[in-house]
């Protein structure tokens, strides 16, 4: 059985959630793609930032 890492799982959730957000929140295809990429960037960026914050808090 394949077990994805935490980062792979994060990327999958970010892809699916940002796709849904892009489709449901914007009207034109160009704006859908841009908003989806924006949401994806925020998902991944905030997860990486928070993981570093938790890393330094634990030390």
| 56 pLDDT tier (thresholds 50, 70, 90) | very high
pLDDT at 1 over 90: no
SS3 category, 35:
helix
Model's pTM, two decimal places? Answer: 0.87
Closest CA to 48 of 17, 25, 20, 14: 14
What are the tens digits of pLDDT across the range 3-51?
Answer: 989 999 999 999 999 999 999 999 999 999 999 999 999 999 999 999 9
**Ramachandran angles phi, psi of 26, nearest 5°:** -125, 160
| 2 pLDDT tier (thresholds 50, 70, 90) | confident
């Amino acid at each position: 059985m394949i077990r994805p890492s935490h980062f792979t799982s994060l990327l999958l959730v970010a892809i699916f959630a940002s796709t849904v957000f892009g489709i449901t929140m914007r009207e034109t295809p160009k704006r859908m793609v841009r908003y989806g990429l924006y949401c994806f960037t925020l998902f991944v960026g905030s997860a990486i930032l928070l993981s570093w914050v938790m890393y330094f808090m634990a030390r």
